[in-house]
């Protein structure tokens, strides 16, 4: 029986919705009996009113069926719409039964007896049974939905899984649990605030509290005050040893990082021996006038020998090539650049392809 009632499917959900309202008339009968004093007799028109309403709702529950599904629906869409319409149909039958009970109770209170309510309950219980999703009810509703030729897939939709819920109890329980969680969070927050307040009071009341606060402030204070830089206050350090080493003339002195500072701007090298010849021309001339060492005499002799060899080779065909190369080097790079420029085409336009 419990499996039948607590079935976790769409069909079981509709069944629980109907079963929840089955015992609803019992508290209504007890309350009306107390109000009318337990009397059974009532005015005839009240009994007729309750009976007519009950008969009308019963006929509506028997005759009214779900509307047919439109043509051309896909199976998933058809199953979803069929389930939605069957839910509406079940809710309609439950509402008609409850309306009959309410009108019967009102007629009993007006007539002063229980006969109108008993007549209404007699006609309302069959409506609840018709609202129950049984084989007869589901088959009849499916045939009504398939009147236009579209398959309803109602049985497949009713077999889908669903949570075990009750119409009124489940929402109330959910609201109660939500409030309990909120209350527990609020109480926990109040406890934390109270605990922090007690801790602060305890630290203030203790004698060593001020010292701890002072130590905490010292840890957050700056290590030393920051003063704006003063002009001329740069001093040499281990990281930047050249600070303060500049004199009034603005000259730079060589350091370990930049050892070439203070050296002459251009000095002769093995690749470019003529650099610095202009600035040291007088010294070289003096050196030339002075008597040289044996090594210099040797070098001068070798140079003279090479010059004699060149003069001796001037008579051959190779001397013309050497003379032209020497003249080109004496003129400098300007003549070479000019010769190269002359060979370039001055017209930047694209030449004609001369295709046939």
pLDDT one-digit tens code per residue, 235-271: 666 655 655 554 444 555 666 666 665 555 556 666 5
Longest distance between any two alpha carbons in the chain, whole Å:
162
pLDDT confidence of residue 113: 87
Three-state SS for 109-127 is HHHCCCHHHHHHHHHHHHH
CA gap 267, 137 in Å, rounded: 114
Closest listed residue to residue 65, CA positions, set 88, 98, 97, 94: 88
pLDDT of 226-245, one tens digit each? 555 555 555 666 655 655 55
Q: How confident is the model at residue 99 (pLDDT cuts 50, 70, 90)?
A: very high
Nearest to 97 by CA among 22, 168, 148: 22
Provide DSSP, 57-108.
Answer: HHHHHHH--PPPPPTT--HHHHHHHHHHHHHHHHHHHHHHHHHHHHHHHHHH
pLDDT (tens digit per residue) in 195-223: 888 888 888 887 655 555 555 555 555 55
pLDDT tier, 332 (very low <50, low <70, confident <90, very high otherwise): low
Q: Which residues of 198-207 are buried (b: 16+ CB within 10 A; e: fewer)?
A: eeeeeeeeee
Confidence of residue 288 (pLDDT cuts 50, 70, 90): very low
Average pLDDT of the chain to the nearest whole number? 75
Q: When comparing pLDDT for 120 and 297, which is higher?
A: 120
What is the pLDDT confidence band of residue 72, given thresholds at 50, 70 and 90? confident
* Residue among 5, 14, 22, 8 nearest 133 (CA): 14
pLDDT given at position 275:
58
Question: At residue 84, does pLDDT exceed 60?
Answer: yes
Contact of 143 with 73, CB cutoff 8 Å: no
Choice among 107-121, 216-230, 340-354 with the minimum mean pLDDT = 216-230
Nearest to 35 by CA among 45, 27, 47: 27
User: Looking at residue 149, what is its pLDDT?
Assistant: 86
Each domain of the chain, given as residue ranges in start order, spans 2-164, 168-207
32 alpha-carbon distance from chain centroid? 61
pLDDT value of position 266: 57
CA distances from 255 to 122, 124, 231, 246 (A): 115, 110, 23, 12
Backbone angles phi, psi at 107, to 5 degrees: -65, -35
């Amino acid at each position: 029986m419990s499996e039948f009632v607590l079935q976790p499917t769409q069909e079981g959900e509709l069944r629980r919705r109907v079963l929840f309202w089955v015992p609803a008339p019992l508290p209504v009968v007890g309350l009306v009996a107390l109000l009318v004093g337990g009397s059974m007799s009532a005015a005839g028109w009240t009994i007729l009113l309750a009976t007519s309403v009950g008969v009308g709702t019963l006929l509506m529950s028997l005759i009214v069926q779900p509307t047919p599904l439109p043509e051309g629906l896909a199976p998933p869409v058809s199953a979803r719409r069929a389930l939605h319409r069957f839910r509406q149909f079940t809710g309609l039958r439950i509402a008609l039964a409850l309306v009959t009970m309410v009108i019967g109770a009102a007629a009993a209170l007006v007539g002063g007896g229980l006969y109108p309510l008993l007549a209404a309950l007699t006609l309302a219980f069959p409506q609840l049974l018709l609202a129950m999703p049984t084989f007869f009810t589901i088959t009849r509703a499916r045939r009504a939905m398939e009147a236009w030729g579209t398959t309803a897939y109602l049985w497949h939709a009713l077999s889908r899984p669903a949570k075990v819920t009750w119409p009124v109890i489940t929402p109330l329980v959910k609201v109660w649990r939500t409030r309990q969680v909120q209350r527990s969070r609020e109480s926990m927050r109040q406890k934390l605030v109270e605990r922090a307040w007690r801790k602060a009071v305890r630290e203030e009341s203790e004698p060593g509290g001020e010292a701890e606060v002072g130590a905490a402030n010292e840890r957050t204070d700056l290590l030393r005050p920051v003063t704006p830089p003063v002009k001329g206050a740069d001093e040499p350090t281990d990281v930047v040893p050249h600070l303060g080493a500049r004199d009034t003339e603005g000259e730079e002195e060589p350091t370990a990082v930049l050892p070439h500072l203070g050296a002459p701007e251009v000095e002769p090298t093995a690749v470019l021996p003529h650099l610095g010849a202009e600035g040291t021309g007088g010294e070289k001339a003096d050196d030339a006038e002075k008597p040289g060492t044996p090594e210099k005499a040797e070098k001068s002799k070798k140079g003279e020998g090479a010059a004699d060899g060149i003069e001796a080779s001037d008579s051959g065909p190779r001397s013309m090539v050497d003379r032209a190369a020497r003249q080109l080097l004496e003129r400098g790079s300007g003549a070479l650049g000019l010769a190269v420029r002359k060979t370039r085409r001055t017209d930047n336009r694209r030449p004609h392809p001369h295709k046939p």
